[in-house]
Amino acid sequence: MSNQRDHGATPTVEAALCHSAWVMALCLLGYAGTAQSQPVQAWVTLTDQSKLLSREDGARFSDQAPQPLHITVDAQQRYQEIVGFGANISDASAWLIQHRMSATQRSALLQDLFGKPPGIGLSFTRLTIGASDFSQTHYALDDVPPGQTDYPLEKFSIEPMRSSVLPVVKAALAINPQLQVMASPWSAPAWMKTTDSLIQGTLRPQAYDAFARYLVRYVDTMQAEGVPTYALTLQNEPHFEPKDYPGMRLDPAMRANLIGKHLGPLLAKRKPTVRILDWDHNWDEPQSPLQVLADPVARPFVAGVAWHCYAGDVSAQTQVHEAHPDKETFFTECSGGEWKPHWQETLPWFMRHLIIGTTRGWAKGVLLWNLALDENHGPHLGGCSDCRGVVTINSKTGEVTRNFDYYALAHASRFVRPGARRIASSTAIDGIETVAFQNSDDRSIALVTLNSSPQARKFSVGFAGRNFVHTMPGASVATFVWTP
């Protein structure tokens, strides 16, 4: 499998001229790169892997007539502000990066993942509060012997995070200080639960206050470590009780109680603000977060709703947004795996649903599941045995394989920076699907485009009264970038 990609671009004639003092004044006056001849960068990935985030030149805006297949981009219609794109730094991901790569390999990978171009600029990630199935042991951050309790949280410790997770997330933050970190527990400590176990069960009523303080202790401790928490969910997948790894059922009434009477008031006192996101589960049950948002006590403390991909349809995000347009939307987990290993099938699915669909469905941030897994789909303890990371790290050599999950993220994350706004673009026209953004710093436009048809499509893109023409091969992805 080829993992080469274009790490740079050949400067345009206009860009080269603008480095000359002789024409600097003309550049400042807008002579070079006028709207009439404005260049458009195109970055292309083909599902046969012959091009992987490869730079193509040649397209320019002009007064030419639009093609019969025409996409319109309108920066005057503006939607949600973007936090970023990324993946979860699970225990497994952190352990591989920290302990199965040399210092040189680790530095190169993190720079590529979180750095500015030629890096792909991931700016959003998620940590687990305690163990998930992608941990080498099952643990919480306040474990005590069976039969004991710790309501004062005297045994609370983030020690299990010190050897792998903390070094990796701190290194990522050093590369990209704009990186936003959210966190989710897979289970409360066993002594708080009806099963007296990290496996299955729900929260004991007498433990609501302790669990809220447990989450706040995590936020405060991580803040002291230099890792601020941007957002928090009460529970990963609260309607699922896995049988072989940590999990916990929290129905809507329980979540509303926890948020409205316990966690919300505690976090409201913290600076900087930590968002509480409800749900953190699949698209197929929009009624669950709607029930929480209907609670008058909980609702003021809920900043938004987090979604996963494993059941239902992405349109659920828009359904909940339309019911509560003042609440934010985030997409926080989806994993690829050996059940869908083929680029021709799965890269278009990822783009249609997870990049284009989620952001057109109001997501401010988009996360895939494991940032990295090894050649055996681990390490893991229970749960998914054939999941795929954004990258695969060979546990013996440290060699990195960039999977199509990486390229799906990169077609957005490299070009859409934190603070960008989604803007209007026409989509789902004869196999061409799109989402567009305008960056807040240099005002550049990024149009992420999927040709889901097996046939090539020639189309035009119209912006501010002018058009450019491009032909996309079948089953391909392109990101077009220009500055008005």
| CB-CB contact of 203 with 250 (8 Å) | yes
Mean pLDDT within 25-54: 71
Reply yes or no on whether the pLDDT at 365 is more than 80. Answer: yes
**Preceding amide of 118 cis, omega within 30:** yes
Contacts of 325 (CB under 8 A, 6+ apart): none
Q: How far apart are CA 377 and CA 229, in angstroms?
A: 28
Q: How far apart are CA 271 and CA 115, in angstroms?
A: 27
Q: How far apart are CA 363 and CA 318, in angstroms?
A: 9
Q: How far apart are the first and last CA of the chain?
A: 37
Taking each helix axis from N to C terminus, what angle separates 103-114 and 165-175, rounded to the nearest 10 degrees?
50
pTM equals: 0.92
Q: Set out the domains of the chain in order of their start, with CATH numbers.
A: 35-80+422-482 (2.60.40.1180), 83-415 (3.20.20.80)
Mean pLDDT within 69-91: 98
Identify the pLDDT of residue 20.
Answer: 37
Reply yes or no on whether the pLDDT at 15 is more than 80. Answer: no
pLDDT in tens, 291-346: 999 999 999 999 999 999 999 999 999 999 999 999 999 999 999 999 989 998 99
Indicate which residues carry an active-site annotation: 237, 333
Q: How far apart are CA 214 and CA 41, in angstroms?
A: 48
Helices and strands per DSSP (H, E), number in the chain: 13, 22
The fraction of the chain above a pLDDT of 70, given in percent, is 92
Q: Tokens 């046969």 label which residue? A: 48
